[in-house]
């Protein structure tokens, strides 16, 4: 163990090490919370000055993250935020939580990781630990981040340390806050891994050291591919069972009683969120470079992407049963977020649903208690509508209500009472479906 490693290890053990989190979004803020609760001083970095300003005023900009957290952090003097990347020198550990989207051709877009790495390289000093947390393909830490950091002239494993630890945040899940989720840690070398394990250990319930950054990177992609493939499978079975007049939801509840060998996944209107629709394509891109197709990933993507069209067909049939064409019908979408109780619209299938219905001449409106105005989306042509208040009049004025997201805030009894037709993609109305005039699961 060299003296740089020893000194940093000591600062971590004494909790005098300052933890820097780069990218203050859905992942970065809960991570800061975990370190602050563990007693560390922190520094948050984001290129978005508006977010930094809001945090410094004690305000959260994410619905399920209370502003009280931020005011407590500030009051305890354990947190400050900055958009000035020259201050990257001030932190002993730098945890990178920046976006990893797909580009227009659905290939990995690592530009945020690369620019963050360049900022770090410009500020890097001996005794710093850098950990990439953003989801990405195996090899990113070694092949993309390391060469950029090497331009600082410092030596990894001696002067500074580099690791990968995938973020497993499940936004809005009250049972699993960041500190309750075990963390997998892979280092570029043993010293880096040991320091990263030492850093995370007081902040999270369990750390799982693995033999390399690549294993840790692949672990995250495996987890998300597993979800994508299994969701696709139940989505396909939903379409089949609906034809067979078997309720997929009842089937899943029954299958869940098997105490081993089965994990429940649920169908829906398509895939949403920052992770599941995107991350598997990081792996298929890498596989293509190694001249290997990833058929499971491609097939799951194909099935999941076809679900909004399936839902639209169900809406058209349900309207048809009532003697109405979709053209000119008023259709209210309930829920625009990609999953319940969050305010995150990224990749939400509700947007594709709206787009498809608009293309067919429907008059679209929506309600989402967490999304007051629809953001403009890169990939979807949907007007920037405002959320409609869920009044009896609004509900009764819709020819069809499509349940796209099953937010807990919805009063299904009230909605069922006033709706003319409900098409439910989430089994949200299971207790009240019999009270709706016209009803269809989709
Ligand atoms: N949201 C999730 O549920 C979730 C779960 C697990 C993993 N992840 C992964 O975590 C990463 C971050 O996701 P997120 O949901 O927190 O994204 P986000 O968009 O909520 O937050 C990212 C933040 O990074 C900032 N940023 C962008 N480029 C930057 C740069 N160069 N320097 C500094 N800040 C920069 C943005 O302004 C934003 O505030 C992604 O790789 C994602 O796949 C997300």
Compute CA distances 149 → 65, 120, 128, 154, whole Å.
32, 7, 12, 8
Question: For a substitution probing ligand 1, which of 44, 96, 99 has the most ligand atoms within 8 Å of its CB?
Answer: 99
| pLDDT tens-digit map of 342-368 | 999 999 999 999 999 999 999 999 999
pLDDT at 187 (0 to 100): 98
Burial (CB count <10 Å: 0-12, 13-18, 19+), residue 224 = buried
Q: Is 433 in the pocket of ligand 1 (CB under 6 A)?
A: no
Per-residue pLDDT tens over the stretch 169-194: 888 888 888 999 999 999 999 999 99
User: How many beta carbons lie within 10 A of that of residue 408, not counting itself?
Assistant: 9
Residues 35, 71: Cα–Cα separation, whole Å: 15
Q: How far is the CA of 23 from the centre of ligand 1 (A)?
A: 6
Among 328, 342, 315, residue whose Cα is nearest residue 422: 315
Which 8-state DSSP code applies to residue 144? I
Q: Are 93 and 19 in contact (CB under 8 A)?
A: yes
Name all contacts of 314-317 with Cβ < 8 Å and 24+ positions apart: 314/423, 314/440, 314/442, 315/357, 315/400, 315/402, 315/423, 315/442, 316/360, 317/440
SS (H, E, C) 12-50: HHCCCCEEEEECCCCCHHHHHHHHHHCCCEEEEECCCHH
Residue 380 confidence (pLDDT): 85
For residue 393, count CB atoms less than 10 angstroms from its CB and return exposed for 0-12, middle for 13-18, buried for 19 or more: exposed
Give residues with Cβ within 8 angstroms of 141, minimum separation 6.
132, 162, 163, 164, 186, 188, 213, 214, 217
Our answer on whether the CB atom of 22 is closer than 6 Å to any ligand 1 atom is yes
**CA-nearest residue, atom 18 of ligand 1:** 25
Q: How far apart are CA 164 and CA 224, in angstroms?
A: 17
Q: What is the pLDDT along the chain (442 residues), one digit of tens a residue?
A: 889 999 999 999 999 999 999 999 999 999 999 999 999 999 999 999 999 999 999 999 998 899 999 999 999 999 999 999 999 999 999 999 999 999 988 899 999 999 999 999 999 999 999 999 999 999 999 999 999 999 999 999 999 999 999 999 888 888 888 999 999 999 999 999 999 999 999 999 999 999 999 999 999 999 999 999 999 999 999 999 999 999 999 999 999 999 999 999 999 999 998 889 899 999 999 999 999 999 999 999 999 999 999 999 999 999 999 999 999 999 999 999 999 999 999 999 999 999 999 999 999 999 999 999 999 887 788 999 999 999 999 999 999 999 999 999 999 999 999 999 999 999 999 999 899 889 999 9
Mind listing the pLDDT tens digit for each residue in 76-103? 999 999 999 999 999 999 999 999 999 9
Cα distance from N-terminal residue to C-terminal residue, the chain: 60
Residue nearest to atom 4 of ligand 1 (CA): 169
């Amino acid at each position: 163990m060299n003296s740089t490693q020893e000194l940093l290890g000591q600062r971590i053990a004494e909790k005098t090490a300052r933890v820097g989190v780069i990218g203050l979004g859905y992942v970065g803020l809960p991570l800061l919370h975990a370190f602050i609760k563990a007693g560390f001083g922190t520094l948050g970095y984001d290129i978005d000055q508006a977010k930094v300003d809001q945090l410094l005023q004690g305000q959260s900009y994410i619905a399920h993250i209370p502003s009280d957290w931020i005011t407590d952090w500030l009051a305890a003097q354990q947190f400050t935020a900055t958009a000035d990347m020259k201050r990257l020198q001030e932190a002993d550990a730098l945890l990178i939580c920046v976006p990893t989207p797909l580009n227009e051709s659905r290939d990995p877009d690592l530009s945020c990781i690369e620019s963050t790495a360049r900022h770090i390289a410009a500020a890097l000093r001996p005794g710093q630990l850098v950990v990439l947390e953003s989801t990405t393909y195996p090899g990113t830490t070694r092949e993309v981040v390391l060469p950029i950091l090497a331009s600082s002239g410092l030596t990894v494993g001696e002067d500074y340390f580099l690791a990968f630890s995938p973020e497993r945040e499940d936004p809005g899940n009250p049972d699993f806050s960041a500190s309750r989720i075990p963390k997998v840690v892979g280092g570029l070398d043993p010293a880096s891994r040991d320091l990263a394990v030492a850093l995370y250990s007081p902040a999270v319930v369990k750390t799982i050291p693995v033999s390399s950054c690549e294993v840790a990177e692949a672990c995250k992609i495996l987890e998300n591919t597993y979800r994508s493939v299994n969701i696709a499978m139940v989505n396909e079975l939903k379409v089949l069972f609906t034809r067979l007049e078997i309720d997929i939801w009842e089937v899943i509840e029954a299958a869940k009683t098997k105490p081993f060998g089965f994990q429940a996944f649920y169908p829906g209107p398509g895939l949403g969120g920052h992770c599941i629709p995107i991350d598997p394509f990081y792996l298929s891109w890498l596989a293509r470079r190694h001249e290997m197709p990833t058929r499971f990933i491609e097939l799951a993507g194909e099935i999941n992407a076809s679900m909004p069209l399936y839902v639209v067909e169900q809406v058209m049939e349900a309207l048809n049963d009532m003697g109405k064409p979709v053209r000119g019908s008023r259709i209210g979408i309930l829920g625009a977020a990609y999953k319940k109780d969050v305010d995150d619209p990224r990749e939400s299938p509700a947007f594709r649903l709206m787009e498809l219905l608009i293309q067919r001449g429907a008059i679209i409106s929506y309600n989402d208690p967490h999304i007051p105005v629809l953001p403009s989306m890169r990939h979807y042509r949907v007007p920037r509508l405002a959320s409609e208040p869920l009044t009896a009049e609004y509900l009764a004025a819709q020819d069809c209500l499509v349940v796209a997201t099953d937010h807990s805030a919805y009063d299904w009894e009230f909605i069922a009472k006033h709706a003319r037709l409900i098409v439910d993609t989430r089994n949200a109305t299971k207790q009240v479906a019999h009270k709706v005039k016209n009803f269809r699961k989709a």
